Structure 1
């Protein structure tokens, strides 16, 4: 657990907070790795959570800030005196030596077990699957080329090395059909299930139903997957079936027949829906070689379509047998319902015991079935244009090699609202598609957008975490697919090409890292302040207030919350014995490898525990439901100077990023840029007024605002970071040559980064070397001035979080080796950076004037960006011009205030 407050001393009331102009918030990492010392000191796994004392008023857990007396203990949050229950008097004996030996009393952070651990057993024979064990399902797009699938094979082989042997693994491929790879059978095979395109259906009145309604009334697949192959037969323990899984990857996972063919299902002559009848007949399923899976009777799509939507519907329905939805409050035996007290204090909900991870690999746009992102109207128009071009080429006097020309003049009228689809609108779409291959991004069916949001909710309700690995030079529509990952605690990885991909490393890193599954988190505060907003991938419980769900989390995943005062007086009337206090309780499921379960006298017999050890690398694996509790006490500040002296600039920028992204979604990019710039103007004005509090308003208006914050050095990084945030792909206008999905990728990545990582991603760090073995300067400004001059170092290392660049200037002596030797200090620095990242950064080593040198120049953010003209909030400015602009805006605001005061 790690919590970083934007203000390490809280303003004593709301008025002081407004005078400071800084967010009153915190950033949390609930699953942050504890140091070995803290983990040992806070280890309370010798007891269960129900044996830890809790306040009878606010339900907070006993902690290191509580006071004890002969009658019990005093809550550090609400100041309530609590008598010890008889069953707890033995544990909490009023002996200082005994109390200080208890982890929950001596440590800020302690961890205990929420319930009895479950031993994960390997199956006694090859025909059964025992549970509960973690489940990993790989869903692979085979409407792709061999290069992509070879990359996926390498990645899944790395996954098999990273996963514990008790993990149950399943391989499913998809194109216009689903392939279930049965690796447990005596003769491994692939069972194919046809997927269907939803067909619009007419109502009795003749109107055509919506795409969403048609999808709801149409089957996604020919038969439920459980009828084709039971899930227990598909899931294969990694330890026992690693060889068979590897063989299936190499021999059975092949490109779909016809990959690369230019077909269009929506052509007027194509039939998109099978005839009425029972799904799942011989025409809908086949078994064996890939070429045998086509639908009979001419129904179904042409080869190489991507039916991601139907695949998700079928797979989620398949996975329902693993567990019940987790969003149901736990009721004790004999209890008809939860009392109001139990709801307020509930930190324990019934959760599934099988964490599920869905690895989705794709290299193209979903274009078939429910959830297709290519609008059928656009596809019909492009197909019609291609057919017309072919007809013209074959007509007398036509030339097959001549490009088609769109009609001109009156033959191409602008279609009005009532124009029939496929008329002038279709021609416009065809021309648009030829001019801009990514134009379809602006014409995605609303039903498809809604589908992925609903699919994400379904994944979350099942505790399924979705990780998306995408390889494409063109647009994939990541902003529409992102809910699948952001709503489930998953990750998004984007690679522009197979050659530049680090997918195997990323898959291994993702699956080998510790992970918390199906988590719930609750924040409790002392009475004088409260949590009012949350940011990041946590979602409020629909029934229990102040309780949030985290489907999955890694140690570096961060979440943020805003605080507010319960009353206008804030902490002014609070005695010094009750400073502001925050307690975070995080309950989660984790797979733990150990020699045996924690010892609990009599608990194993009472709960029917026990069982044979899982035979996996000499270890035993336990699924543990754990509870981590952290309590933090913060002092208050009575002056603006004291608040400024205890500011955390990295946490402030993290909250700004979350707030501005939310504003961009609600109000648009331009308005979000202006809001961010205006925030910096207001901060500069507040600082200006407080530093020069002895000046009159007239005198104050003649003094320039200090954007260097010379009397508050902790604020000094903020202008540069705000400027860099405005220049980032999240807020800057789309740049020529930029990947169409880069903004969506960075939005997903940055929204979960902890403060110190986010600052590195927003404003890269540049170091310099005199040679590959000697560091010259650890930090430079991102300007050309750092590279120029006769005394400037010849080699620079620029770390932009997802990209590392080693740049040899033209002044570099010829005897300096290029590229740097593997054992050099420079190479070791690059390796150290890569090892600490959650995503493997790409490394480019280049010379000045060579390939990719322009990219290095673009990352010198302090220089003006010639590609941005205006745009509000600093567009087209360099850092110096941006600071002058903000300073001018502050001066203008002071003049407006003076004029308003004179008129009033």
Structure 2
């Protein structure tokens, strides 16, 4: 678990917090393998035996004052007694990591009376067939890669959707698909035939261990729906039917209901990977893509710069149903058209999944992303609880989780990987702030989870169009890319430049590496010495830096090499945002991010000096 504060020092009183105008809180990456300093946790057993405060229910930890027969809670100050078993156990400090370390990972015993079947993970691919051949070829490649990453014992299901839902029987000698037609009427609720009646769930979910070849064979049978099929379903002439008929909302509603029937019996976690080639435009949950731009044109607002609101609450409501059924949904959209992700995103956010967007099929990294996504350990059935000492308290919380309906500051997370990050902000509990005494501010975070581990853990990444689950360093690069200069492929010149042409000229370096989170751009200036090899050699420092950046994050960034004066430099120059008109005034701003950061630092120093003087 890694915990990073937004400020290096907490404000002392509410007036200081108001004056600095900075967010006060923490970012938590609960399933991280190390803490914020890179240290792994101390491990041990008997997590169920850790004492808890009788007043605030905080766990005993290394910051609590320990006495012979009891301990004082470092959060609320209450005095607690030890029972005889705990007192004897604490006489052997080496066997009690919670006595000596602030970051501990303790096992909790589970009941072995069950048959263990509920621990089998379930994966379902829901594939859009109202698409192009190129889209399907990409999806086939991605799912074949996913099959190689799934752990033994996994169950896999294949479903397609368009104007009909297709369920594949993957356990027989040849793949068989059974179809249920999607009602086109928005007022019609549900399918004419429940999916369970079309195919029992345990026939739909195939063991990957024994059916991998049959799953691969079924993938090869996927074909886009024809205009004739869509016309017949909608009652229109074939020539008048455009590419569409994407009954995504109905398909997801039926699939969640289908899987929920076995939640807690056949599986403890179901992960749905939904692949979309455009916006849902058929049946319930269809979205009006014509509104893009039209609603802003009359107001004089640039639609490309507008933050689009949620169009309908359908997918937010559906996400709540998915949560109750233990279904985590990841959405992979491969399209360059308006798809209203502002409405679709709630399926992912609420259920613990992620939203992936690829502009086209030609240079999509979807196969690599989904393989790496499934190749690393992930936690499921998680509960996250944050507690603070008495002078301050948690305020708002942010992330891909849903709050506990009964207890405050308790979040439930269906699925969580080592990159998933959540945020909390703080408020003072009273106007005195921390001025009443000198006890340190204390934060305790408890994270309970079960874990699924792949056979081989691979470092990797996933491409996320939603930034709400990124860790601070990744989010910073997505908002303000990092620009590094190199005097040669083997020698770094300067670690950070402002994003402007002026910075390029002043540095006099011939090579620049721009890290924009989803894009890595190696740029050679037009004045670079022709003797410098382009692209850089594979064994040089620059290439090593690029490879490290690709491995140490949660996406597969696209790598582009540009030689200024010879290649089109538009991509690189588009990131020089400090020389762009960002406020719509028609002029470039007078100061950029680096100048803003210096201003904040100077104001903070002034506040500190004023406090010291008073």
Which TM bucket (shorter chain)? 0.7 to 0.9
Corresponding residue to 1:877 among 589, 596, 601:
589
Distance 1:185 1:510 in 2: 29
Q: 1:9 deviation in Å? A: 3.1
Match of 2:96 in 1: 102
Q: Is the 8 A contact 2:285 2:314 kept in 1?
A: yes
1:459 aligned counterpart, secondary structure: helix
1:621-648 C-alpha deviation (Å, 9 max, x unpaired): xxxxxxxxxxxxxxxxxxxxxxxxxxxx
Matches within 5 A, 1:613-692: none
Q: Structure 1 CA distance, aligned partners of 2:310 and 2:401?
A: 28
1:442 Cα deviation from its structure 2 partner: 12
Distance 1:27 1:36 in 2: 10
Q: 2:193 aligns with which of 218, 223, 231?
A: 223
- Equivalent residues in 2 for 1:785-800, closer than 5 Å: 785-788=502-505, 792-800=508-516
1:263 is displaced (CA, Å) by 5.6
Partner secondary structure for residue 332 of structure 2: strand
Q: Which residue of 1 aligns with 2:606?
A: none
1:317 is paired with a residue whose SS is helix
For residues 736-815 of structure 1, the aligned pairs below 5 Å read 746=465, 748=466, 750-788=467-505, 792-815=508-531
Quick one: distance in 2 between partners of 1:120 and 1:242? 28
Match of 1:9, SS state, is coil
1:582 aligns with 2:443: yes
The residue correspondences of 1:54-453 to structure 2 (distance < 5 A) are: 54-93=52-91, 98-116=92-110, 130-198=117-185, 214=187, 218-250=188-220, 252-258=221-227, 305-323=245-263, 354-374=268-288, 449-453=312-316
Asked whether the 8 Å contact 2:131–2:243 carries over to 1, the reply is no
Q: What SS does structure 1 have at the residue aligned with 2:219?
A: helix
Deviation of 1:785 (Å): 2.2
Rounded to whole Å, the distance in 2 between the matches of 1:220 and 1:155 is: 30
Q: Residues 305, 137 of structure 1: CA spacing in aligned structure 2 closer, same or farther, 3 A cutoff?
A: same
Structure 2 CA distance for partners of 1:821 and 1:480, relative to 1, 3 Å:
same
**1:111-160 C-alpha deviation (Å, 9 max, x unpaired):** 223441779989xxxxxxx4431111100111111111111111111111
Deviation at 1:302, TM superposition (A): 9.2
Aligned partners of 1:878, 1:801: CA distance in 2, in Å? 26
Q: What TM-score results when the alignment is normalised by the length of structure 2?
A: 0.86
Provide closer, same or farther for how the CA distance between residues 825 and 8 of structure 1 changes in structure 2, counting only shifts above 3 A: closer
> Which position in structure 2 is the counterpart of 1:47?
46
Aligned residue in 2 for 1:20: 20
SS state at 1:82 partner: strand
Maintained 8 Å contact 2:333/2:358? yes
1:878 to 1:572, Cα distance in 2 relative to 1, 3 A: closer
Aligned to 2:435: 572
Higher helix fraction (1 or 2)? 1
Q: Which runs of 5+ in 2 are unaligned?
A: 298-302, 458-462, 604-614
CA 1:141 to 1:838, structure 2 compared with 1: closer, same or farther past 3 Å? same
2: distance between equivalents of 1:182 and 1:547?
40
Corresponding residue for residue 338 of structure 1: none
Report the secondary structure of 1:184's partner residue. coil
Deviations 1:366-386 (A, max 9, x none): 1100011137xx79xxxxxxx
Checking the alignment, whether the CA contact within 8 Å between 1:169 and 1:237 is kept in structure 2 is: yes
- Equivalents in 1 of 2:499, 2:40: separation in Å? 43
CA contact (8 A) 1:27 1:558 kept: yes
- SS at 2:313 equivalent: helix
| Post-superposition offset of 1:477 | 1.4
- Structure 1 runs not aligned, ≥5 long: 123-129, 199-210, 272-297, 325-350, 380-428, 433-437, 594-615, 620-743, 892-904
Shift of 1:494: 1.1
Distance 1:825 1:38 in 2: 24
Q: 1:264 to 1:189 in 2, by over 3 A?
A: closer
What's the CA shift for 1:805?
Answer: 0.8
Aligned to 2:381: 518
Distance 1:6 1:866, change over 3 A: closer
| Deviation per residue, 1:84-114 (Å, 9 max, x gap) | 1234333233xxxx12541111111212234
* Residues 816-865 of structure 1, C-alpha deviations (whole Å, 9 max, x = no match): 333223333322222221111211111111122455412211211232x1
Relative to structure 1, the CA distance from residue 270 to residue 120 in structure 2 (aligned partners, 3 Å threshold; closer, same or farther) is farther
- Contact map agreement 1:516 1:590 (CA 8 A) in 2: yes
Aligned match of 1:481: 344
Contact 2:582 2:589 in 1 (8 A): no
Inter-CA distance 77–144: structure 2 relative to 1 (3 Å threshold): same
Deviation of 1:172 after TM superposition, in Å, equals 0.7
Structure with more relative contact order (C-alpha pairs < 8 Å, separation 6 or more) = 1
User: Bigger radius of gyration, 1 or 2?
Assistant: 1
Q: Equivalents in 1 of 2:18, 2:212: separation in Å?
A: 60
RMSD: 3.6
Secondary structure of 1:587's counterpart equals strand
The equivalent position to 1:542 in structure 2, one of 393, 399, 405, is 405
How far is 1:502 from its partner? Answer: 0.4
Among 511, 517, 542, which residue is 1:826 paired with? 542
- Which residue of the other structure, out of 333, 352, 359, is the alignment partner of 1:470? 333
